[in-house]
Amino acid sequence: MAAHRDSAVGEQGSDGGRETEKPTEKAPVKKKSTGSASTSASTSTTAKKGARAPGAAGAKPAAAGKPAKAESRTALVRRARRINRELAEVFPYAHPELDFENPFQLVVATVLSAQTTDLRVNQTTPALFAKYPTPEDLAAANPEEVEEILRPTGFFRAKTRSVIGLSKMLAEDFGGEVPGRLEDLVKLPGVGRKTAFVVLGNAFGRPGITVDTHFQRLVRRWKWTEETDPDKIEAAVGALFPKSEWTDLSHHVIWHGRRICHARKPACGACPIAPLCPAYGEGETDPDKARKLLKYEKGGFPGQRLNPPQAYLDAGGRPAPPLDAA
């Protein structure tokens, strides 16, 4: 999950709509033109069978794949679902990027991820949860001691107030358990809709769309919606996909935003969905230069989680280093 600068933890909106078109999940994924495929495939560190290297599909100029100005609703739904299927091939191991072992750890980590990276949160929370493993423990904590632990995440005084405050509410009003309902979660200090959906989607298995900064940027680049309000983005994008796909869709989009389609320099020349992207050319189109822009495992570097899922390790991903090793 995320950080708000670069965060996958964003406040988000309502239930969204329902798909209006027959699902196309089973449609075969068409092979893209070869382009730079042969050279780019060797640069990927992801060895998992089926995982696609960025650029492996060939980042052909967008013109051929660029949707017409007046793209029909049906064509938009098809293109959006195609992008999600392609990203699922590129990131078959996509997962929340905050380390957590239970809902309490996830809600705390998500609150801490505001204005920092998930990596920094993951490097900070082991000490926090070792000292305060339960809501009751954190509720009774000395704020100054918590502040010292949280200092590396920035805004540590406000974050200390939030995590102690939400722990007190969990202990006093919810029997020490994180509630599994949106209306309860948003009552917790520091928890908005985006954080609540991250928790619901990843700790309770309830579909939700996480409209963080990456999600907002990418869906506008892809012209899935022109909305700018997170709640309206959530509703507009939710209407393009079956609800059952919302959580994985969020992971795919956020992973693509973090690794390839960056805010300032998208790596268009190494982008596996270039033929489907109206914004192709907004970033670096030279394949060699674009590959140098790739981040995390796609760029050959460690991921954000110190304890990533096995599927990620099996695919060649590497755990992030602890704080004192960073």
Kindly list the catalytic residues. 194, 212
Strands (E), 80-193: none
Tell the smallest beta-carbon distance from residue 93 to ligand SF4 (Å): 20
Quick one: CA dihedral 239, 245, 251, 253, positive or negative? negative
SS3 of residue 159 by DSSP: helix
**Token couple for 254:** 């956020």
Tell the smallest beta-carbon distance from residue 313 to ligand SF4 (Å): 26
Tell the smallest beta-carbon distance from residue 110 to ligand SF4 (Å): 26
Q: Which residues of 271-300 are buried (b: 16+ CB within 10 A; e: fewer)?
A: bbbbbbbbbbbebbbebeebbebbbbbbbe
Tell the smallest beta-carbon distance from residue 191 to ligand SF4 (Å): 31
Interface with ligand SF4 in residues 214-243 (CB under 6 A)? 221
* Contact call for residue 57 and ligand SF4 (CB under 6 A): no
How many whole angstroms separate alpha carbon 98 and alpha carbon 118? Answer: 6
Tell the smallest beta-carbon distance from residue 204 to ligand SF4 (Å): 30
How many whole angstroms separate alpha carbon 268 and alpha carbon 68? Answer: 20
Closest CA to 45 of 286, 269, 285, 302: 302
Tell the smallest beta-carbon distance from residue 32 to ligand SF4 (Å): 12
**Token couple for 212:** 């963080």
For residue 157, CA distances in Å to 96, 140, 143, 162 come to 25, 16, 8, 9
Applying CB under 6 A, the site for ligand SF4 has a residue count of 14
Q: How many CA atoms lie within 13 A of 80 on its CB side?
A: 29
27 C-beta neighbours (distance < 10 Å), count: 11
Interface with ligand SF4 in residues 68-107 (CB under 6 A)? none
Which CB sits closer to ligand SF4, 283 or 308?
A: 283
Which CB sits closer to ligand SF4, 2 or 267?
A: 267
Which CB sits closer to ligand SF4, 88 or 267?
A: 267
Q: At 208, which amino acid appears?
A: G
For residue 183, CA distances in Å to 13, 14, 187, 197 come to 12, 11, 7, 11
Tell the smallest beta-carbon distance from residue 254 to ligand SF4 (Å): 13
Which CB sits closer to ligand SF4, 63 or 130?
A: 63
Tell me, residue by residue from 260 to 289, as one string, x for binding to ligand SF4 by CB under 6 A and - for no binding: xx----xxx--x-xx--x-xx-xx------
Which CB sits closer to ligand SF4, 82 or 159?
A: 82
How many whole angstroms separate alpha carbon 320 and alpha carbon 96? Answer: 14
Which CB sits closer to ligand SF4, 57 or 146?
A: 57
**262 phi and psi, to 5 degrees?**
-70, 165
Interface with ligand SF4 in residues 241-260 (CB under 6 A)? 260
Which CB sits closer to ligand SF4, 192 or 281?
A: 281
Interface with ligand SF4 in residues 111-170 (CB under 6 A)? none
Closest CA to 114 of 187, 199, 54, 190: 190
Q: Which residues bind ligand SF4 (CB under 6 A)?
A: 221, 260-261, 266-268, 271, 273-274, 277, 279-280, 282-283
